[in-house]
Amino acid sequence: MAHIQWSDDLNTNIAVIDSQHKRIVSYINNLEDVKDKDDRTVEEQVLNELVDYTLSHFAFEESLMEDAGYGFINGHKRVHQLFVKRVSDFMQRFKLGEDITEELLIVLKAWLINHIKSDDNDYVDIVKKNLGNMDARKGDGWLTMSVKKFFA
Ligand SMILES: [Fe+2]
Ligand SMILES: [Fe+2]
């Protein structure tokens, strides 16, 4: 399978979100790289990094949606939760010794690209507008602080 190549249609044009999405893509590509090396320790490490980072991204994204008063936040959170459940089922199987990486990669690639292009794209206008006002309301550096909080 091929690496995911970042393309312009994946951009939300919210810089902090795009850099997080790119990082998730690079973790998926790392997983692709280690897949055939038959080293479960390395695979587990990449899987854990990918899962940890993705959970932080979801929490961060949800906080931006919440602050912006995005109307479909509950649905979006539910979509994140269902995906987390799906991935944790894969992790369980991995821990039981199964080779799940190929199957997981197919799911990750399809899910992520679809999610960025449709669900994430849907909050962009309201979140972008809110971020524009945020420094005035909450003081400079709010975004940096918030990133630190979720990615400590
Ligand atoms: Fe999302
Ligand atoms: Fe996202």
Per-residue pLDDT of 25-44, as tens digits, reads: 999 999 999 998 889 999 99
Backbone angles phi, psi at 63, to 5 degrees: -70, -35
Ligand lying nearest the CA atom of residue 118:
1
**Dihedral-angle region of residue 97 (phi above 0 means left; psi in -120 to 50 means alpha; beta otherwise):** left
Architecture category of domain 15-150 in CATH: Up-down Bundle (1.20)
Q: Where are the alpha helices (DSSP H) in 35-141?
A: 40-68, 73-95, 101-115, 121-138
- Give pLDDT tens digits for 49-89: 999 999 999 999 999 999 999 999 999 999 999 999 999 99
Name the residue ranges covered by the structural domains of the chain: 15-150
For residues 10 and 79, what is the distance between their CA atoms, to the nearest angstrom?
18
Ligand closest to 123 (CA) is 1
- Ligand 2 center to residue 70 CA distance, Å? 14
pTM of the model: 0.93
